[in-house]
Amino acid sequence: MFLPVAQQKEGENMVEIFFESEYVTDCEGVQYYKDEQDGQEYIYSDLEPANCHLWFPCFDQPDLKGIHKFVTFAADDWVVISNTAEVR
């Protein structure tokens, strides 16, 4: 996507992206694991900075900042942990 400089206004431009990603098995994204011993399912990510672009669309550039929202749909008996406050 290209937004001409003449149309860029600080604090007024917005790009909205909807993104889905598959689970991975190489430790570079969102991973799924089912423990054979306890039968529990685990979904997790280490989210290393060099691999963030594999997890969700983002700019890997210090001068480009943006706000993002992360939505999680989980079963009632799952525990969802994040390093930010829950919105609802």
- H or E stretch at 52: helix 52-55
Asked whether the beta carbons of 18 and 24 are under 8 A apart, the reply is no
Query: Can you spell out the DSSP letters for 59-88?
Result: ---TT------------TT-----SS----
Asked whether the beta carbons of 58 and 52 are under 8 A apart, the reply is yes
Residue-wise pLDDT for 9-21, tens only, equals: 777 777 777 777 7
Asked whether the beta carbons of 48 and 58 are under 8 A apart, the reply is no
Rounded (to 5) percent helix, strand, coil in the chain: 10, 10, 80
Q: What is the pTM of this model?
A: 0.49
Residue-wise pLDDT for 29-80, tens only, equals: 777 889 999 999 888 877 777 777 777 767 666 777 666 777 788 888 888 8
